[in-house]
Amino acid sequence: MPYQSIFRAGLFDNHVILVTGGGSGIGRCIAHELAALGAIPFIAGRSLDKLARVADEIREDGGRVDLTTCDIREEDQVRAMIATILQRHGRLDGVVNNAGGQFPALLENISKKGFEAVVRNNLTGTFLVSREAVNQYMNQHGGSIVCILADMEKGFPNMGHTGAARAGVANLCATAAVEWARYNIRINGILPGTIASSGLETYGPGIMDHLDSVRQQIPLKRLGTESEVSAAVVFLLSPASAYTTGALLKVDGASSLWAQMISIEDHKSNEPFDGFHRAFRPSWLPGASY
């Protein structure tokens, strides 16, 4: 079964779109959907094995893909990655800044090294990739950049380092939307809520056990799917969002809006959109539910 995208076939025919962090989780799903819509996703990350596995999946499904390893925290590597894309394909139509990483910790327990590592991964890396895409190609040809952030608008207790970094990315998007509009470049951000993705497993069994109670506090009473985030990315990359720039789109089941001043009665959730035929499903999720 191919990827069940709601967007029309051929939407991105022959477009080259960089997806950082494309070797797992949401980035893997985005790469699959873009390939299914005719694009050549160029996936990048630090693990060649992960990237190669995703590339094999996409080719098995009949899509095209390219890849390279890159540590987005390193300026020289980012510069070389963008140059490689242009050397191989001659164009770069879009960028999905998906790569990132963090670990749970209270602020008082985060070392300077740990704080700076998360900021470099989530904020500095996003800046470097975006800047190089603009300077090496998009300032002459236009393009669309989508940044994956997180729900940090009410702070980010237990992950203050990534909350600070993601808030910086949100401001970066706002600034770049104005500065780069003259180049016909659009830049937007997506704020996913709690998504049923392989990324959850990096936080260990304690976090996984806590997720059922988290789900009960989401107004839609379920976790999101990788496909629902990917669909939002595709919209922001597509011509349908030609007048949308500097925006932050929440994909979170209204979890960021609930101030816990009223109770959300238990109810049957709406049906999730799950178009990704190779989607990761956490083993603890009961049945077909999210």
DSSP code for 117: H
Please state whether the predicted TM-score (pTM) of the whole model is above 0.95: no
Decide: 66 and 42 in contact? Cβ < 8 Å. Answer: yes
Each domain of the chain, given as residue ranges in start order, spans 16-200+229-252
Q: How far apart are CA 54 and CA 41, in angstroms?
A: 11
Q: For the domain 16-200+229-252, what is the CATH superfamily, name and number?
A: NAD(P)-binding Rossmann-like Domain (3.40.50.720)
User: What single letter denotes the amino acid at residue 226?
Assistant: E
The token pair that represents 230 in the structure block: 């990917």
Q: What radius of gyration, in Å, describes the C-alpha atoms of the chain?
A: 18
pLDDT at 210: 67
Q: How far apart are CA 166 and CA 57, in angstroms?
A: 30
pLDDT in tens, the chain (290 residues): 789 999 999 999 999 999 999 999 999 999 999 999 999 999 999 999 999 999 999 999 999 999 999 999 999 999 999 999 999 999 999 999 998 877 777 888 878 988 888 889 999 999 999 999 999 999 999 999 999 998 877 777 777 787 888 889 999 999 999 999 999 999 999 999 888 876 666 655 555 566 667 777 888 988 899 999 999 999 999 999 999 999 999 999 998 887 664 556 677 777 888 888 888 766 656 555 66
